[in-house]
Chain A
Amino acid sequence: MSLNSRHLWHFHGGLKLPSNKAVSTTRPITRALLPKRLVIPVQQHIGEAGKLLVKVGDSVLKGQVLAQASSYVSASIHAPSSGKVVEIEELPVPHPSGLSALSVVIETDGEDKWIELSPLHHPNTKSPTELRQLIRQAGIVGLGGAAFPTAVKVNTGPQAEIDTLIINGAECEPSISCDDMLMRHYASEVISGCGLIQYIVSARHCLIAIEDNKPEAVAALRAVITEKALHTIEVVVVPTIYPTGGEKQLIKVLSNKEVPSDGFPSDIGVLVQNVGTAVAVHKAICLGEPLISRIVTITGEGVQQAHNMEVLIGTPMSELIEQSGGYHEDAAKLIIGGPMMGFTLQTDHLPVTKACNCLLVSNAAEQIADAMPCIRCGACATVCPAQLLPQQLYWHASSKNFDLVQEYHLFDCIECGCCNHVCPSQIPLVQYYRFAKTEIWNQERDRIKSDHARIRHEFRQERLDREKKERDEKLRKKKELLAKKKIAEAATKETVGATTDIDPKKAAIEAAMQRVKDKKSAQQTESSNEKSTQEQ
């Protein structure tokens, strides 16, 4: 294997783990069968959910927009195949909570008929802004697992100058091989996508980072680069250390630069994108196809046949397992994602989403022992790739001291699970950090809500006071007017005195009585007229 001449650096800590990837890379990528029902959750990304454009009973074509991005940080979703919308309901989604979320259910018609696509043959004639818009319309999100809207990520702003685009093909987590297979089989698409993103962010050069346990992928990409004689794109082989594929870790390895704690890679002139995202960008711009499918690794001791499948978003996981020969009898746990960062699912009747890179079926042998007390060995701090103090974070998270965990930079934790892995007491450390993070977010939401309530309460108080004042004012004015009138009356009485004893009040009454009299007489004449006409 030809290694690169580039100098590389190391990030702090990390682990050498058995990769367990070979089992799923021996077979080519197979296309999953078109399912009868596709369940597409409206929210599959970080940010706001899209706005629904379809209703139950609508016929949709493959690639048609189901929900449109509703705000800047949002992503559209599209129909993965043609058919009919039969249900828009809250259905279970792959989430650690096991909760349900709004989903569109499509009954496929088997025709798989596309909407009219508008591929772009010469993307370089378009402006980066127009291409970003295409990415946004295609509903592309980061396919490495975070599912952050790509159109937002590639919009680095006018002040951030991107020097290096890093395409992340490290795929450091054991068992997962979808990026590896993607690079082997879609090498030219990967390179095309790299070129497009490089053009959009006007990066001077592009590095494709691949761990040294994927020589086939390296060779495939290098072949395309040589063939097309591309000088600004370079494949860099990086050592296999978990978690090299973490954004900040990969930047450190390639450039020795560190992303500031509360900053973004763009602050130091770097942008990182996953290889799968690069292919999705290529498809969106060059073919006009939105993101409706992805490659998923189905692997683990508990499944009959480990392999990679190209899967439509919304396909039930149970069907993928079935098409992989089903479960082994000792299958114990279904994990979405890898063994380090994934989470256990309660059921396989869940749809594949944009972020779902791997389904790992572990067998009964992998039972976790009960946690023991912390012995303060410090092994966790040695392996932490974010250079945190996992032990301190653990103490403070377990005692719910949320101010202190933030002082120990809890939010720099990437939840890689290295500390969990090495902990001799088998303490589920990452779960403590996740607990603390969600609690802190919850407190923040509460704070915003109570501030809002305070403003509304103060407004109401103000309104009530104002209304009371206005009422009092009105009453006062009325009283004043009345008093004035009385004075005026008294005055007129005094001045005019006995000469004219026509009281204005009396005059008014008399006038009214006169009017009534007139009306009565008029009515009488009318009725007599009627009588006479009837007689006639």
Chain B
Amino acid sequence: MTILTAILTLALIAALFGLLLGYASVKFHVEGDPVVDKIDAILPQTQCGQCGFAGCRPYAEAISSGEAEINLCPPGGETTMLALSDLLGVEPLALDAEHDDIPEKTVVYIDEETCIGCTLCIQACPVDAILGAAKQMHTIIESECTGCDLCIPPCPVDCIHIKPVKVEPDTWRWPLPDHVSTAPQAG
């Protein structure tokens, strides 16, 4: 008799928790993968595709599913790689040799003398930073340009050029002093 009570009680408890879990999984269901969002938030959003994926989000998805390493983002540089290693709890990796430590920020500009108004660059721009219409001159909205350079290859007359972002007194950064810090010797 006692054994029956025990089995029944346990079965009841199991059923109760099962229902509770089932309810929670419906009630607190999360759309999409939150880790992808977190990775995507770290990536620089240039949508340049230099990592080999179609944009920042696809790269984030690839990292999340373990298909890609964390050191493939040249515009993000070391900072992004370290932030990713911190977030995902993986060992930091060296950047590819060709990628500089601190990537120089650039934007592009259109040589308006040469532009023929073909709209190819407008179609290539991932952030709608190019203004223009067919057979009308195009121009780059500099404040919106992420420097991904995706507009350069489609241009049939090579009128899009890269220039570094201008440093203003407001955005200037103090350099790290030359003095190399060394930890004091023990003893």
Contact = CB atoms under 8 A, between A and B. Distances in A.
A453 B168 contact: no
A216 B71 CA distance: 65
A370 B127 contact: no
Nearest to B185: A373
B79 A443 contact: yes
Contact of B174 (A99, A101, A431): A431
B172 A394 contact: no
Nearest to A447: B41
Contacts of A439: 173
B119 interface: no
A453 B174 contact: no
Residue of A101, A395, A400, A453 with highest tally of chain B CB at under 10 A: A453
Given A453-B45, A453-B146, A456-B128, A99 B168 contact: yes
A427 B183 CA distance: 13
Contacts of A459: 128
Given A99-B169, A454-B40, A454-B56, A373 B181 contact: yes
B173 A438 contact: yes
A25 interface: no
The listed residue with most B CB atoms (<10 A of its CB), out of A371, A398, A432, A457, is A457
A75 B117 CA distance: 42
B43 interface: yes
B168 A432 contact: no
A457 B43 contact: no
Contacts of B56: 454, 457
Given A97-B167, A97-B169, A374-B184, A434 B126 contact: no
Interface residues of A, number: 41
Contacts of A60: none
A96 interface: yes
B176 A432 contact: yes
Nearest to A427: B179
A453 B127 contact: yes
B173 A442 contact: yes
Contact of B181 (A96, A395, A437): A395
Nearest to A41: B169
Contacts of A446: 44
A97, A427, A445 pick with most chain B CB within 10 angstroms: A97
A435 B146 CA distance: 25
A482 to B, nearest CB: 29
B173 A428 contact: no
A480 interface: no
B147 to A, nearest CB: 10
A375 B173 contact: no
Contacts of B127: 453, 456-457, 460
A232 interface: no
Dominant SS among interface residues on chain B: loop
A438 B45 contact: no
Contact of B46 (A370, A371, A453): A453
A526 interface: no
Contacts of A443: 79
Contacts of B175: 435
Contact of A374 (B47, B174, B181): B181
A445 B55 CA distance: 21
B65 interface: no
B25 interface: no
Contacts of B181: 373-374, 394-395, 398-399, 427
Given A443-B79, A456-B144, A451 B45 contact: yes
Contacts of B184: 373-376
Nearest to B178: A371
A370 B169 CA distance: 28
A29 B132 CA distance: 60
A93 interface: yes
22 contacts: A96-B174, A97-B167, A99-B169, A99-B172, A370-B179, A373-B181, A373-B184, A374-B181, A375-B184, A395-B181, A427-B181, A432-B176, A435-B173, A439-B173, A450-B43, A451-B45, A453-B127, A453-B146, A454-B40, A456-B129, A457-B56, A457-B126
Given A97-B172, A398-B176, A450-B46, 15 more contacts: A95-B169, A400-B176, A428-B177, A428-B179, A431-B174, A435-B174, A443-B79, A451-B41, A451-B45, A453-B46, A453-B127, A454-B40, A456-B127, A457-B45, A460-B126
